[in-house]
Structure 1
Amino acid sequence: MSRIQLPPFRAAPLLLTLAAAFAHAVDPKPPVHIEADQVSGQTESGASAQGNVVVTQGDLRVESEWGNYDAPNDRLTGGDHVTMTRPGSVLHGRTLDYYIQRHEGTLTDPDYAMSPGKMRGDGAELLFEGEDKYRIDSGRATSCRPGDDSWYLHASTMWLDYTSNSGVAHNGWIEFKGVPILYSPWMNFPLDNGRQTGFLTPSLSFDNRNGFDLTLPFYWNIAPNYDATISTRYLARRGLMMGGEFRYLQPGYTGVLQVQGMNDREDQATRYSVLFQHQQTFTDRLWMAVDVQKVSDDSFFNDFGERAAIASQTNLPRQVLFGYNGDNWNSNLLFQRYQTIQQTSIPYARMPQLTFNANPQWLDGVRTGVSGEITDFTHPSLTNGVRSWVYPTISMPFVSNYSFFTPKIGVHASNYQLRDASGGNSRNESRVLPVVSLDSGLFFERDLDVGGNALTQTLEPRAYYVYIPYKKQSDLPNFDSAVTDLSFAQLFRENQYSGNDRINDANQLTLALSSRIYTANDGIELLQASIGQRFYFKDQQVTLSSNDQPSSASKSDLLLSLGGRFWHDLSADYTLQYNTEDRKTVRSTAGLTWNPQPGSIFNLRYTINRNQSPSTEQIDVSAQWPLTRNWYGVARVNYSLPDKQPLDAIVGLEYNAGCWGVRLAAQRFITSDAQFKTTYFVVLELDGLGGIGSNPVNALRTAIPGYTADFDGRQQ
């Protein structure tokens, strides 16, 4: 053992190593160094220092006017303007009493900054309660930058635990711009935007159906793979609603359960909603999915839904789906019913439906496939029955670098065992149809030089022929078929009907031409254009309903598509469905988007659709744009030209101050009962604590394509 004798003091700065060789042999902790104007002491017992004291051990650094180190107890004391620095934190105080290895002690009159959670603050006393664990008495905290005291969280006692990234405040209240705005005897908050058990900030809004609407949620972080949110919601016109959401996540399964319920004093009824969704993998091949939804009445979503997509729901599923994935084949078993709301048309239940798809590889260069289904369709008032069908196909693709040619042949065979809703009048029907198609295309490419930019242009002609003979199908029920909208994808499909109850007769040829221009270096698409049309060599006779008249058109509507990024951050797109015989537009969409940077976006879209009854013609304008350095305007209007009124509109203002922000918005949309619902949102967002009020972010994100909601992404 070596022993180092130190002089009683030194007038010049001195570097003192307070760890002897024997100490390192027993305890490998980093040595303690002291630098000061005057130092006295011994290595085995410790040292005292005066004047410009700097104590370091590993990544710990303490600066003070005087300091004492007790080596046997590994205790450091210091005073008169102490600064303690560790990675991610800087603490200032008057006096320090600290056990280095235990990370325990006190700091009086603390002023602290914790960069991992962007929190800073002060208090009467800071207690070290372990590594990265702090308790602050009579303290306050904020995420604002130094010099900005816009808001503070005050508390008689505050715990900051950076090992679990959680904060807790007792007798806490929030001060904003010098005004107390919220008090709670117990508050908790995450230090890293993670999950934390406790009350979430309340949500407050107002709408014309419910009046004043206040929600107080409690979040329960049960385990890393389980959590729950319990909500108490007060609606001034209707009363108290209780709700809850339970989520779970396991290696083999995941799911969510949501429940809401109340005694509605305005409607004098018990109202509720239930949603249960579950996905489970039994093996690497066998899986299951459950989706069960139910509401107490048709108006539940109209009264309590917060946006148009929710309020317009009409069919709520109640289904269980099993799936199995084999080698080159898969099969699904579905049990499905619906709760129908806001309409009289009830969809068929599938109790059950078994589907099968296979693509066996029997011969090189030959593609074989077979798909099939057996479904028991039930309905309370329409024709019921079991439908079974099978569709084997064989094709032989010939592919080169510049072309492809794929002949295909298949046979679609269907059988129906039908009965009326009461179970009587049984009958059988069948249908067998051969299906022949030829799909071919070419691919040309050339290099371009536009203004010194290396570009590539493609030219892609395609031809698709389909032959299906006519078979009378008016005696067959329609369980799930509908006419699909004409699109480029539909031009290259065998059947223009969805489902399997109607298969069109066809002797037709589709011709299409596409071209793209993209950058040669990184492949960014600058422009795309497509045109296509289907030509009929024979009049089609199959219709969806026996009351429909067959079409005698010699060709389909013409489809045109054009879009791309035309200038810097400006992009546009245009689609057209044009009836060349009647010389009129059937459907058309024109859109323009300008997005120079996050938080600055403008969208303009015009749509017209005469392919439905009644026809629609709408203009949709949405934007999020900076008004000043900190203020942003947000708006969206979906305007119906025939109705001469907006169907969905939202307008608001956002203020971004870096560590806090304000959002104000008003939304008006039409519900499925043809009534308008107007909701007003106001939320104060405090970085690190969350929002106080009702946050319109979900409504804005849905309404405005490209909307940016992150305050941190738009700091001043």
Structure 2
Amino acid sequence: MPAFKPCPFRLSLLAALLAGLSAPVLANPGEKPEPPTFIQSDEASAREGEFAEARGNVVVTREKLKVEGDWAHYTIQDDRLRAGDKVTMNKDGDVLTGTKLDMLVEPRKGDLLDPTFQMAKGAARGDAVKLLFEGPDRYAIKQGRMTTCAPGNNDWYLHSSTLDLDYNANRGQAWNGWVEFKGTPIFYYPWLDFSLDHSRKSGFLAPSLGMNSKNGLQVQTPYYLNLAPNYDATIYPRYMSRRGMMVGGEFRYLDLDYTGVFRAEGIQDRIDDKSRTSVLFQHAQKINPNLGLSLNIQKVSDNNYFSDFGERLSVSSQSNLPREGTLTYSQETWNGFMRWQRYQTLSTLTNPVDKPYDRMPQFYFTGQPQIKPWLATNISGELTDFNHPDKISGLRSWAYPSMALPYNESWGFITPKVGVHATSYNLHQTNAANANYTRTLPIASLDSGLFFERELKIGNGNFLQTFEPRAYYVYIPYRKQSNLPIFDSGETDLSFTQLFSENQYSGQDRINDANQVTLAVTSRLFESDNGIERLNVTVGQRLYFANQRVTLTTTENTESPSRSDWLLTVGARFWKDLSANYGMQYNQADSSLRRSDLTMTWRPGDYRTLNLRYSINRISDTRSADISGQWPMGNGWYALGRYNYSIKDSRALETLGGVEYNAGCWALRLAAQRYVTSVTDTTTSFFALLQLGGIAGIGSNPLDTIRQSIPGYSNTYAPPRF
């Protein structure tokens, strides 16, 4: 074999020494030719058709593969490359280094001793005893460890005896390993099966750990089943130290025309000494372009289920669980639905809840038939059978056709409208001789408004101010309605939306008599250069020309106020990061403030938000103060919290406090939440989550709870994606 000889220049071995080595070779006609291999080095020798050897700053390239080493030996016949003593491989951003490489180049099979690696464009790195090449983009790492921390930062590692990475199938598997954090093993696993591109993959999900004042220590180890591209399932055993083992499962499905979820869970509760369960089924389907079907069925075994097992305020406060099926119809001018609806009402002695009426069934329609281009026509109606175990039940039907002549210009608008509202009742469970009632009411209204604007200069800024007065008149004659039941009606809160509506009651059982006009004016201030709204003010009041007699009770009004309360809203954006909104309802007759709400928000930058709110409602006799926010404390630490306090009851309705830490390649979230679940009961939950890059999260994630409690919250940590 020829000896290595010093060369005064770099050699491109296969092109310069052996023309046959660099030329494509076809094993059989019609096969794809093997790509050429190029070698550069300080010294080289070769034997034609057999091998090539190189030493000193060796660089071997084939397509996207690049190998560098102190020496290399390439065998042509079996396409085998051996290299050492310091080897570096680079392919598609993955960088592998080791002491000795032995690999079949084209099939990518072989091994690398004492490897260190950087994969996913440097997002992950690690080292091992040996790395096996098992085909294109397939690796087996023996006695290795892996982290997403930058070089020089060894805060955490994922260890394993064997780690298989298959980038063709985007699948990873690890056996007999543990998680090391700050030099200490904190979690052991016998086997992990995970996705390399965050796609759906069957296997165990990261376990969840938490603490709850009612249930004690909670450990949940969900297992995910990727059953098919369009449906999957999750099984989640959940152990609670005080109550026992809860077993739950969720099945989801998705198709072009339908989607749905089925969820069930159950426990033999040690505290209550009984079996407790929860079931949910939701389905939505598009039967044809105009017809749709939806189902929503929920049930729990007892009234305290959510207050005991709900982990968040929004879950534990559920009081009426629907059991309904709805068939909808929709086209360009007509829409409607047919619905069967019942509820499971979760009512307790400390938290009483009034059971709503069942609708078995309910038929509703609305349409906008086009008669003339300048005429806006509308008709809506309903037929519903209301049922209740303790109240008067019956059949109610109504129809409301109307016509309007809208006229709109840049300077303003005017819209006259007339309609007739007709209602019929056929009641059950009543001793009245006549259980059938009808009500017919003509309704007329006139809505109008003007738009004025002017340019002005404030300081050095150019602004545009608007002035927008609006008047809305409604006439509805009086009809006696005290003999009609209350199926779905209630008195709505006074608001600007309600000031410009025909009926002050929700539902269809009460329609107020009206001879009234609403007067309101809005003014806005915009920056001329960018259109940012800096200030808006709206004030309005309703004036009554006749006494309103209709009420929700059997007793009619003999005297009513001549005007409504004043409504005022003010919104201001003082700077780019500070805004405030104020709203009030003022009673002019007794000079009293009925409702007042002040909200201030300061968001001076990323991960910086403060929210203040003070609310008074003398109608419902409540008064509360609310403060929430998120703020950096420096060195990667962030503080967050919320305190919602009822001044009337002298108690906190919700308290949330926590800290977050972003270390770059890992993050820590600690939070505690206490909230009221009934008049006498509260629940306290503790959350702790250690997020290790994009590999795993250990603990209980408080992110959803934080987002719901703190307006403007921003996630401080986004793990890398592989």
TM-score (norm 2): 0.94
Question: How far is 1:454 from its partner?
Answer: 4.4
2-side partners of 1:522 and 1:32: how far apart? Answer: 60
Equivalent position amino acid for 1:352 in 2 = P
Distance 1:399 1:42, change over 3 A: farther
| Aligned equivalent of 2:523, options 515, 524, 533 | 515
| Aligned equivalent of 2:98, options 74, 86, 93 | 93
1:529 maps to which residue?
A: 537
Please say if residues 666 and 692 of structure 2, whose CA atoms lie closer than 8 Å, have aligned partners that are also in contact. yes
1:202 maps to which residue?
A: 207
Tell whether 2:686 aligns with 1:683: no
Tell whether 2:413 aligns with 1:404: yes
Please say if residues 396 and 424 of structure 2, whose CA atoms lie closer than 8 Å, have aligned partners that are also in contact. yes
2-side partners of 1:234 and 1:221: how far apart? Answer: 24
Equivalent position amino acid for 2:54 in 1 = A
How big is each residue's C-alpha offset from its partner over 1:42-72, in whole Å with a ceiling of 9 and x where there is no partner? 6754522111011122222111111123334
Considering only aligned residues, what root-mean-square deviation do their CA atoms show, in Å?
2.2
Tell whether 2:650 aligns with 1:644: yes
Distance 1:710 1:437, change over 3 A: same
Alignment coverage as a number of residue pairs = 706
Equivalent position amino acid for 2:289 in 1 = D
- What are structure 1's unaligned runs of at least 5 residues? 1-6
Question: How far is 1:667 from its partner?
Answer: 1.0
2-side partners of 1:521 and 1:196: how far apart? Answer: 51
Tell whether 2:393 aligns with 1:384: yes
User: Which deviates more from structure 2 when the two are superposed, residues 267-276 or residues 102-111?
Assistant: 102-111
How big is each residue's C-alpha offset from its partner over 1:429-461, in whole Å with a ceiling of 9 and x where there is no partner? 000001101111112233344455444332221
Question: How far is 1:550 from its partner?
Answer: 5.9
2-side partners of 1:383 and 1:90: how far apart? Answer: 77
Q: Within 5 Å, give how 1:344-383 maps onto structure 2.
A: 344-383=353-392
2-side partners of 1:117 and 1:448: how far apart? Answer: 56
Please say if residues 24 and 34 of structure 2, whose CA atoms lie closer than 8 Å, have aligned partners that are also in contact. no
User: Which deviates more from structure 2 when the two are superposed, residues 451-460 or residues 215-224?
Assistant: 451-460
2-side partners of 1:131 and 1:512: how far apart? Answer: 72
Equivalent position amino acid for 1:274 in 2 = V
1:616 maps to which residue?
A: 622
Tell whether 2:56 aligns with 1:59: no
2-side partners of 1:514 and 1:165: how far apart? Answer: 58
Q: Within 5 Å, give how 1:104-123 maps onto structure 2.
A: 104-115=109-120, 118-123=123-128
User: Which deviates more from structure 2 when the two are superposed, residues 170-179 or residues 559-568?
Assistant: 559-568
User: Which deviates more from structure 2 when the two are superposed, residues 263-272 or residues 104-113?
Assistant: 104-113
Tell whether 2:10 aligns with 1:13: yes
Is the partner of 2:708 in helix, strand or coil? helix
2:311 maps to which residue?
A: 306
Equivalent position amino acid for 1:87 in 2 = D
1:660 maps to which residue?
A: 666
Question: How far is 1:23 from its partner?
Answer: 5.8
How big is each residue's C-alpha offset from its partner over 1:396-444, in whole Å with a ceiling of 9 and x where there is no partner? 11111111111111000111111117x9977210000011011111122
2:277 maps to which residue?
A: 272
Please say if residues 291 and 317 of structure 1, whose CA atoms lie closer than 8 Å, have aligned partners that are also in contact. yes
1-side partners of 2:476 and 2:137: how far apart? Answer: 74
2-side partners of 1:52 and 1:138: how far apart? Answer: 30
Question: How far is 1:94 from its partner?
Answer: 1.3
Equivalent position amino acid for 2:256 in 1 = P
2-side partners of 1:688 and 1:122: how far apart? Answer: 18
User: Which deviates more from structure 2 when the two are superposed, residues 242-251 or residues 681-690?
Assistant: 681-690
Please say if residues 67 and 77 of structure 1, whose CA atoms lie closer than 8 Å, have aligned partners that are also in contact. yes
Equivalent position amino acid for 1:680 in 2 = F
2:492 maps to which residue?
A: 484
Tell whether 2:563 aligns with 1:558: no
Tell whether 2:582 aligns with 1:577: no
Distance 1:667 1:117, change over 3 A: farther
Distance 1:287 1:555, change over 3 A: same
1-side partners of 2:230 and 2:611: how far apart? Answer: 40
Question: How far is 1:92 from its partner?
Answer: 0.9
2-side partners of 1:152 and 1:373: how far apart? Answer: 64
1:4 maps to which residue?
A: none
1:181 maps to which residue?
A: 186
2-side partners of 1:100 and 1:425: how far apart? Answer: 97
Distance 1:572 1:37, change over 3 A: same
Distance 1:192 1:673, change over 3 A: farther
Q: Kindly, what percent of the aligned residue pairs are identical?
A: 50
2:425 maps to which residue?
A: 416
1-side partners of 2:556 and 2:161: how far apart? Answer: 77
| Aligned equivalent of 2:295, options 283, 290, 296 | 290
Equivalent position amino acid for 1:298 in 2 = N
Please say if residues 190 and 688 of structure 1, whose CA atoms lie closer than 8 Å, have aligned partners that are also in contact. no
Distance 1:164 1:545, change over 3 A: farther
Please say if residues 416 and 445 of structure 2, whose CA atoms lie closer than 8 Å, have aligned partners that are also in contact. yes
Distance 1:205 1:26, change over 3 A: closer
Is the partner of 1:699 in helix, strand or coil? helix
Question: How far is 1:678 from its partner?
Answer: 1.2
1:3 maps to which residue?
A: none
Question: How far is 1:130 from its partner?
Answer: 3.0
User: Which deviates more from structure 2 when the two are superposed, residues 172-181 or residues 183-192?
Assistant: 183-192
Please say if residues 91 and 110 of structure 1, whose CA atoms lie closer than 8 Å, have aligned partners that are also in contact. yes
Question: How far is 1:666 from its partner?
Answer: 1.4
2-side partners of 1:117 and 1:367: how far apart? Answer: 63
Is the partner of 1:266 in helix, strand or coil? coil
Equivalent position amino acid for 2:710 in 1 = I
2-side partners of 1:287 and 1:430: how far apart? Answer: 33
2:162 maps to which residue?
A: 157
Please say if residues 452 and 468 of structure 2, whose CA atoms lie closer than 8 Å, have aligned partners that are also in contact. yes
Distance 1:626 1:51, change over 3 A: same
How big is each residue's C-alpha offset from its partner over 1:581-623, in whole Å with a ceiling of 9 and x where there is no partner? 12111111111111122321111111111122xx111010011
| Aligned equivalent of 1:598, options 606, 613, 630 | 606
2-side partners of 1:241 and 1:21: how far apart? Answer: 64
Please say if residues 297 and 322 of structure 2, whose CA atoms lie closer than 8 Å, have aligned partners that are also in contact. yes
TM-score (norm 1): 0.94
Distance 1:144 1:540, change over 3 A: same
- What are structure 2's unaligned runs of at least 5 residues? 16-20
2-side partners of 1:377 and 1:350: how far apart? Answer: 5
Distance 1:323 1:44, change over 3 A: farther
How big is each residue's C-alpha offset from its partner over 1:93-134, in whole Å with a ceiling of 9 and x where there is no partner? 111223333233221111111125822111111122233322
Distance 1:523 1:98, change over 3 A: farther
Please say if residues 209 and 688 of structure 2, whose CA atoms lie closer than 8 Å, have aligned partners that are also in contact. yes
Is the partner of 1:712 in helix, strand or coil? coil
